[in-house]
Chain A
Amino acid sequence: GAVVSQHPSWVICKSGTSVKIECRSLDFQATTMFWYRQFPKQSLMLMATSNEGSKATYEQGVEKDKFLINHASLTLSTLTVTSAHPEDSSFYICSATGQVTEAFFGQGTRLTVV
């Protein structure tokens, strides 16, 4: 299957700082990228959908000013968690879809805000 690379795999940051997570499709052009969040023992929840060159579409309840998404190219999307708080600690994972509508996922990022 296609390869999606997510970086970093884990990060610890201080409360009030911002953290950027990168998601890259390595061997295909991702027309759409998705960002999910997973709390312990819960299912993955879709946060937002981004298409290259356009603004992201956020799911209900997800603050767009807090979770900034940029999809500047067909191979790269970034998620920036701004002014992070301990309640933002979670597992964030991206997914990319190209011409084939099979979803390929990155390795995920474990964010811990202290």
Chain B
Amino acid sequence: KQEVTQIPAALSVPEGENLVLNCSFTDSAIYNLQWFRQDPGKGLTSLLLIQSSQREQTSGRLNASLDKSSGRSTLYIAASQPGDSATYLCAVRPGSGGGADGLTFGKGTHLIIQP
């Protein structure tokens, strides 16, 4: 059974710092990996999607990497801003279903950016 772990569980840093969020998964047979942002009591906003054949994806100040063989992904946030404060979720889609299966989520990293 796939398990997704996110470290750290919580992180508080001053505005302007660069930071790295970590995600690991136990079964490397994934179809893709997705990073989401969740604000309190809200739904999920997709940040980056990395297909299993890709090594990284970038969007603005965000960069996500994927090392499928070792079961790891990182989300790099550059020049953090208070508006980045949220819970960041990592999720993997299993490779066996051709992309039609549901996601397995980590518990998230609760990020606070101090003004």
Query: Which A positions have Cβ atoms within 8 angstroms of B?
Result: 1, 6, 31-32, 34, 36, 41-46, 49, 51, 59, 91, 93, 95, 97, 101-108, 110
Contacts and interface: CB of A to CB of B under 8 A. Distances in A.
Given A101-B32, A110-B41, A1 B107 contact: no
A108 B107 CA distance: 17
A102 B105 CA distance: 14
A46 B104 contact: yes
Given A103-B103, A105-B43, A105-B46, 13 more contacts: A1-B46, A36-B102, A46-B102, A46-B104, A95-B102, A97-B100, A102-B32, A102-B49, A103-B34, A105-B36, A106-B43, A108-B42, A110-B41
Given A43-B106, A102-B34, A49 B101 contact: yes
B43 A43 contact: no
Contacts of B45: 105
B11 to A, nearest CB: 16
Contacts of A102: 32, 34, 46, 49
Nearest to A101: B99
A95 B104 CA distance: 13
Nearest to B102: A46
Nearest to B48: A102
Contacts of B88: none
Contact of B103 (A41, A46, A107, A110): A46
Given A101-B32, A103-B34, A43 B42 contact: no
